[in-house]
């Protein structure tokens, strides 16, 4: 692991560096894929919302904040139950400082954002404990591929992030169904990672679907349909459509393991054009193991934004150093892209400064 201009080359250092070189100074487009799953409403699963019921509002509110600097569908911004604000604050600062165009992609929403977004087919994800989590996976996948192909004509590379509460649990479920050993390896937006609850939830889902771990080794569409979430086919389709032609930075934490497994089964060739971009808080997390997940699937590089909020004036931001939230809304990837696009002119320190400004404004107006 090597630190270079605020970017940690966390895994496959040589390839990570080559990826960074390819995108250095180039013009990206940032996408945020949003969706919801009832799985997030299982008490204790997700901290991506003040209460489990509010998780339906988190993805649309995140992207409203990202585009407008304020949320319309909720007052304030999405927060964890303890009041720690959404990583959309970081993403917004990054894309603003580097003037990176942003598009929202929605599949399976209950509440639609009040900003322009690409609507794909798909309906809100069911609780994975039903064993019938997502409808119309193939159609979403193929629509997203069309969109990815079109976007690849317009951008030098894509950064793709996501916001879906409960997403690490569905990621655990899909990877386990596909035969990867990810128990205890997915991260959490909470400081205490509820691994046991997640595994219990997944096992219930697999059982309901009549499946055992590894039964769907080469069958990602079935895995998503049974125990995944609607963000997954949208995200994977975008990557596959775009990465044929341009580099793609998958911006997220351990959920990217599920996306990687899906693409690796459907179209592994495109992965030569793909890296994972995340935050220091993910790669430094002792309660999860992104590298351990990626390694089992296929060896793509991992980069991480070396953000440090320990010196922040605000407790709400300092909390990120305690492992609350950690990642989301493509924050890590957006920061990496902001640094790369501006050839290092934008720095992690400057991003923290601007995030503090925005946060100060937010807590004032609330």
Kindly list the residues in this chain that would bind a second copy in the complex (CB under 8 A).
29, 67-68, 99, 101-103, 105-106, 112, 114-121, 139, 143-144, 146-147, 150, 153-155
- Of 1 and 154, nearer to a second copy (C-beta) is 154
* Minimum CB–partner distance for residue 235 and a second copy (Å): 13
Residues 241, 138: contact at Cβ < 8 Å? no
* Minimum CB–partner distance for residue 14 and a second copy (Å): 32
- Of 118 and 314, nearer to a second copy (C-beta) is 118
* Minimum CB–partner distance for residue 143 and a second copy (Å): 5
- Of 158 and 178, nearer to a second copy (C-beta) is 158
Please state, in angstroms and as integers, the Cα–Cα distance from residue 105 to each residue in 117, 163, 232, following that order: 6, 10, 12
- Of 102 and 362, nearer to a second copy (C-beta) is 102
Q: Tokens for 351? A: 């991003």
Nearest to 338 by CA among 105, 34, 30, 17: 30
Q: How many CB atoms lie within 10 A of CB 207?
A: 12
Q: Is 8 helix (H, G, I), strand (E, B) or coil?
A: strand
Rounded-to-integer distance, Cα 26 and Cα 266, Å: 28
Strand order in the sheet with 28-34: 2-4, 7-11, 302-305, 274-279, 248-251, 157-163, 28-34, 102-106
* Minimum CB–partner distance for residue 153 and a second copy (Å): 5
* Minimum CB–partner distance for residue 156 and a second copy (Å): 11
* Minimum CB–partner distance for residue 94 and a second copy (Å): 16
**Any idea what DSSP says for residue 86?**
P
- Of 213 and 340, nearer to a second copy (C-beta) is 340
Q: Tokens for 178? A: 């596909």
> What is the bridge-based pairing of β-strands 274-279 and 302-305?
parallel
- Of 115 and 266, nearer to a second copy (C-beta) is 115
Strand partners, 311: none
- Of 121 and 294, nearer to a second copy (C-beta) is 121
Nearest to 56 by CA among 207, 184, 221, 230: 230
- Of 237 and 257, nearer to a second copy (C-beta) is 237
Rounded-to-integer distance, Cα 270 and Cα 96, Å: 29
Q: Give the orientation angle of helix 255-266 with respect to helix 231-243, to 10 degrees.
A: 60
* Minimum CB–partner distance for residue 116 and a second copy (Å): 4
Please state, in angstroms and as integers, the Cα–Cα distance from residue 207 to each residue in 131, 170, 215, following that order: 7, 15, 12
- Largest Cα separation within the chain, whole Å, is 53
* Minimum CB–partner distance for residue 65 and a second copy (Å): 14
Rounded-to-integer distance, Cα 366 and Cα 362, Å: 6
């Amino acid at each position: 692991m090597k630190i270079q201009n605020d970017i940690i080359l966390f895994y496959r250092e040589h390839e990570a560096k080559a990826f960074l070189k390819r995108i250095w100074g180039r013009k990206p487009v940032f996408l945020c894929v949003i969706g919801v799953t009832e799985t997030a409403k299982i008490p204790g699963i997700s901290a991506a919302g003040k209460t489990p019921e509010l998780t339906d509002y988190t993805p649309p509110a995140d992207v409203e904040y990202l585009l407008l600097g304020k949320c319309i569908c909720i007052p304030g911004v999405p927060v964890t139950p303890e009041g720690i604000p959404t990583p959309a604050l970081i993403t917004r600062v990054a894309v603003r400082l580097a003037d990176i165009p942003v598009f929202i992609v929605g599949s399976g929403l209950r509440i639609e954002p009040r900003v322009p977004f690409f609507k794909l087919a798909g309906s809100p994800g069911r609780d994975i404990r039903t064993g019938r989590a997502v409808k119309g996976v193939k159609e979403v996948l193929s629509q997203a591929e069309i969109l990815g192909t079109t976007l690849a004509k317009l951008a030098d590379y894509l950064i793709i992030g996501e916001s879906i509460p409960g997403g690490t649990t569905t990621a655990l479920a899909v990877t386990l169904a596909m035969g990867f050993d990810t128990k205890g390896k997915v991260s959490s937006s909470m400081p205490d990672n509820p691994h046991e609850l997640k595994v219990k939830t997944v096992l219930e889902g697999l059982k309901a679907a009549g499946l055992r771990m590894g039964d769907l080794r080469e069958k990602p569409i079935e895995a998503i349909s049974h125990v995944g979430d609607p963000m997954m086919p949208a995200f994977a389709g975008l990557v596959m459509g775009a990465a044929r032609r341009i580099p793609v930075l998958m911006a997220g934490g351990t959920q990217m393991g599920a996306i990687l497994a899906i693409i690796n089964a459907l179209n592994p060739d495109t992965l030569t054009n793909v890296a994972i971009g995340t935050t220091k808080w993910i790669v430094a997390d002792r309660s999860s193991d992104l590298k351990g997940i990626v390694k089992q699937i296929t060896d793509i590089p991992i980069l991480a934004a070396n953000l440090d909020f320990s010196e922040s004036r605000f407790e709400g931001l300092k909390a990120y150093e305690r492992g609350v939230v950690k990642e989301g809304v493509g924050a890590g990837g957006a920061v990496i892209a902001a640094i790369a696009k501006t050839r290092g002119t934008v720095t992690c320190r400057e991003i923290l400064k601007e995030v503090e400004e925005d946060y100060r404004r937010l807590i004032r107006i609330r």
